Structure 1
């Protein structure tokens, strides 16, 4: 299994790179070569990993672990026949090595045979006492075949072994969401938080689940705990702002959205939400200013163009509304909602032929309302 990609280069790696800069050939233990190869693979330096594998096999031709790393590179480069041939040889030497089955599963997965990969990973599970990484791989394979119940079980296994495996936490909640089991996700997260009370990610996910089932006071409390756990957690401030909007507390929502712009570079989504809040507060000039910022920051965000167009529609300033929807259409002429707005504006201006054309475009693109 791969090492942590955040690892710092150790003495073997430094020594290896020093050797590459000279004509000297140094001797390394097999374990040193494994460390060197893992380092390069984790940092995407496949050519250097291949150099280390070649030299490692020259110095340690019987090292099964280095040969397995060679297979890993073959699989990465889609050299499946060569990889299978080497695995056949290795399995004769060590038939109960779980990593052989993992690499075979990897091959099957890359060939879209996910059921075959699952069978092989279950075989690997029978051969190892360290199952956490295998459950993670299994979870991903079950996701590929849309078996979210089994995927969730696998990711929960990972969390039982390592509660700080946040990738598995996200994947677990993703499975609950896909199965539309928000109540189950809430129960799971509350149980998780009983033993991990300062996990800002879990509080954040819990808040999102409460938001999904419209339990806004509970969602607000969850996001507050996420912020208490990490007062620089941008996502928690943004989601808290959304909850405050739902509760009609627009000034407080704006404060939270502004906090996100202070923590990192402002985003179009934050600008848009601030503009919407000012709309609710009946401050149209401020709302329009933030809608301008939205489309300037991200011209591809359709909600921004629609917000500024609707702003002028409400004021019955149809010429301005048309100007902005035309700009939006010049960027994305395949957006049915843009054409629908264009039709509404032309109709208000009594431009019947233009309205008819716009509505026909909208229906051709899938919007049949008009």
Structure 2
């Protein structure tokens, strides 16, 4: 494909008339667009981006822009995807799917305040769009408007009563507001709708734990692990719950198994170290903590040692 673009455009040199140029431009546009589509399908994303970009230099085409956004996203060129989406919305300001696509890109760029504006625009166009209410709730949660998030999720659920993600998110928001009892019916509904979704069991486990129902919480964390033995959150939650219940030997044995499955599991080393420290095994605790920091030098355990380097080397400071 090295000489593709050169040969493509050289064919138009002898086209002198306006009609001939227009026909040749349309031909080149079509070739570039569909060659880009084929390239994208087989994973040649960089070449697809080049094709779509060259095609758009010939003709501003909404569909081709959409393909370009997808290619940019695949290539993790999120800012360029946003630039293209901005132009698409200039062309068709009422195109709901484009607005929702821009919302997804804005989330990736942590521009949650801008998400809310786009969701409001979608709702203005389609008040019954349950996804827009849900996405606006996600943004409000991140920006600190928890009550607004609950209101939006309630609207989303009213529009779509089998909206699993909305029940799950509302349960998470209520839990964050320390309203575990109010959160429980939502997470029960989410589990009934998606019984194979491990995240729902994690959230229910956290709710049970917040309410003091530790055995029920342990069962939920184990259910999540049964669905996915590599779920790190479930592993840490179950292990730390064993520590909370002062079942230190069980906690250590549990983390032993987790580390055997995944030897680079930094957080598991840290939590096993905490259990060992509570048992009085200072040497074992230190070695686990040291291993955790080696595996994740930017993690929370490492941050606890900032300014404590000498104490760490002398094993005189254990931030458990």
TM-score (ref. length: structure 1): 0.68
Equivalent position to 2:30, from 99, 116, 128: 99
Q: Distance in 2 between matches of 1:251 and 1:169?
A: 36
> What CA RMSD, in Å, does the superposition of the two structures yield over aligned residues?
3.0
Q: Which whole-Å CA distance do the structure 2 matches of 1:224 and 1:342 have between them?
A: 41
Is the contact between residue 200 and residue 225 of structure 1 (CA under 8 Å) also seen in structure 2? yes
Structure 1, unpaired ranges of 5+: 1-79
The answer on 1:119 being equivalent to 2:49 is: no
Give the Cα–Cα distance (whole angstroms) in 2 for the partners of residues 111 and 206 of structure 1.
31
Rounded Cα–Cα distance in structure 1 between residues aligned with 2:236 and 2:31: 55
Q: Deviations over 1:124-177 (max 9, x none)?
A: 434xxxx331220232344443425403314536874642x3xx4443112222
Assess if the C-alpha contact under 8 Å between 1:241 and 1:256 holds in 2.
Answer: yes
2:267 alignment partner in structure 1? 337
Could you tell me how far apart the structure 2 residues matched to 1:123 and 1:283 are?
62
Relative to structure 1, is the Cα distance of residues 134 and 118 closer, same or farther in structure 2, using a 3 angstrom cutoff? closer
1:352 CA displacement: 3.5
- The partner residue of 1:196 within 126, 149, 156 is 126
Match of 1:275 among 201, 205, 209: 205
Q: For structure 2, which runs of at least 5 residues remain unmatched after alignment?
A: 306-320
**May I ask how many residue pairs the two structures share in their alignment?**
284
Q: Name the counterpart of 1:57.
A: none
CA distance in 1, matches of 2:223, 2:255: 16
Does the alignment pair 1:327 with 2:257? yes
Match of 1:247 in 2: 177
Structure 1 residue 255 displacement after superposition: 1.1
Contact 2:112 2:139 survives alignment (8 Å)? yes
From 83, 96, 113, give the equivalent of 1:150: 83
Q: Distance in 1 between matches of 2:160 and 2:92?
A: 21
TM-score after normalising by structure 2:
0.78
Corresponding residue number in structure 1 for 2:310: none
Distance (whole Å) between structure 1 residues aligned to residue 2 and residue 116 of structure 2: 46
